Amino acid sequence: MKISEKISYPYPIWGWFENYKTNKASYRLEQNLNDADFFIFKMTVDNQDSVVKQLIAEHKAAYACIATCSSTFYNQFVTEEDPTITISIPRDDVYGTVNVIFMIVATSNIPDYQNPNLDDFYEGSAFLPKGAAIALLYEGDFEAVATSGKTLGDVIKVVENTWSNEIETDVDNPCIRIALPADEYNVFDTWGANYKAVLHSTIVYNALLKAIGNLQSFSKTNPDFEWVKYLDNEIKGMEDILDVEDLAEEGQDERGYSIHDAMKIANRILKQPTRRALVEISDIESRN
């Protein structure tokens, strides 16, 4: 639930206006907005109200976090009785403004809530319905940057190689083109959907390494190529994993991406494809 300043609630909320005599609970909030797959918020609460702590111990209340995105209608609600609560918001599910609220909520009806910290208006007692916000700990927004609108499947195409018996990668087009000889292409066309991670860890991974190595020159000559725009957009925000320092350092391309950096970029874009491929193979084998 989103606490609104325009609404008068029929029950007290700790940390909201002056419903309680004491200040709201203190907390430590950690944010990781640079994870490859999730926006992560972790809160550790220092709850000094003995009555509220007892409600949580009796399973009548819990720490909670709600994340909502009005642009995509994404909504996630998590609860935790431990004072450390984490919410992980998938990057692919949100863009624009995302609202995050941490609170303490009633998980059952509490008809005779008595707390000496309540202000004089409540005379020490109140009724808390199931779902009521007992305490508002934190509310804030962050901006989830929209992607270019293109997915990996939009910028990489697999075609049959009708001119040679080699596996070739062509970046001289708006889309990266992977050409497979007839036999290999038939395997891809027949079974590829069942082995996406295996394909990502092999032919797609190699194609990305070639594209990343050519990104500098194509950014100058063909900046409107879809794969160029896609990679430029994906690499933004990867400063936490890259080691770009001296552009003239041996082993680096013109843009400053060493082969080590290029591998890091490809691994993040493909979400650790080797690990996923091994899990995929294990899952398929266990079902046979």
Residues in the chain: 288
- The model's pLDDT over 69-127, given as tens digits with 9 standing for 90+, comes to 887 788 999 999 999 999 999 887 787 789 999 999 999 999 888 888 787 777 778 88
Distance CA 262, CA 170 (A): 18
- pLDDT value at residue 47: 84
pLDDT tens for residues 203-246? 999 999 999 989 988 888 988 888 998 898 888 878 777 765 54
The neighbour count for residue 222, using CB atoms within 10 Å, is 15
* pLDDT over 60 at 5, yes or no: no
Token duo for residue 264: 């890091």
Phi, psi of 102 (to 5 degrees): -110, 135
Our CA dihedral for 257, 262, 266, 272, rounded to 10 degrees, sits at: -120
As a whole number of angstroms, the distance between CA 64 and CA 154 comes to 38
Which residues are 78's β-sheet partners? Answer: 65
For 210-245, give the DSSP string: HHHHTHHHHHHH-TT-HHHHHHHHHHTT-TTT----
Q: Give phi and psi for 161, each to the nearest 5.
A: -85, 105
DSSP 8-state code for residue 247: T
Q: What is the DSSP letter of 200?
A: I
Residue 34's pLDDT band (cuts 50, 70, 90): confident
Predicted structure pTM score: 0.52
Residue among 11, 20, 22, 19 at smallest CA distance from 106: 11
CA distance 185 to 192: 9
pLDDT greater than 70 at residue 3: no
Residues 6+ apart with CB under 8 A from 207: 156, 169, 176, 178
Please state, in angstroms and rounded to a whole number, the distance separating the CA atoms of residues 200 and 159: 15
The percent of residues above 90 in pLDDT, for the chain, comes to: 40
Q: What mean pLDDT, rounded, does the chain reach?
A: 84
Give 69-73's long-range contacts (Cβ < 8 A, gap of 24+): 69/93, 69/94, 69/95, 69/96, 69/97, 69/98, 69/99, 69/144, 70/96, 70/97, 70/99, 71/95, 71/96, 71/97, 72/96
Rounded-to-5 percentages of helix, strand, coil across the chain:
30, 30, 35
Q: What is the set of domains in the chain, with CATH numbers?
A: 26-144 (2.60.40), 152-287 (no CATH)
For residue 149, give Cα distances in angstroms to 152, 174, 177, 235, 248: 10, 15, 19, 15, 33
Neighbouring residues of 152: CB distance < 8 A, sequence distance ≥ 6: 204, 230, 269, 270
Tens digit of pLDDT for each residue in 56-68? 999 999 999 999 9
120-124, 159-163, 192-196, 281-285 — which is least confidently predicted? 120-124
DSSP assignment string, 42-110: EEEEE---HHHHHHHHTTSEEEEEEEEETTTTEEEEEEESSSEEEEEEEGGG--EEEEEEEEEEESS-E
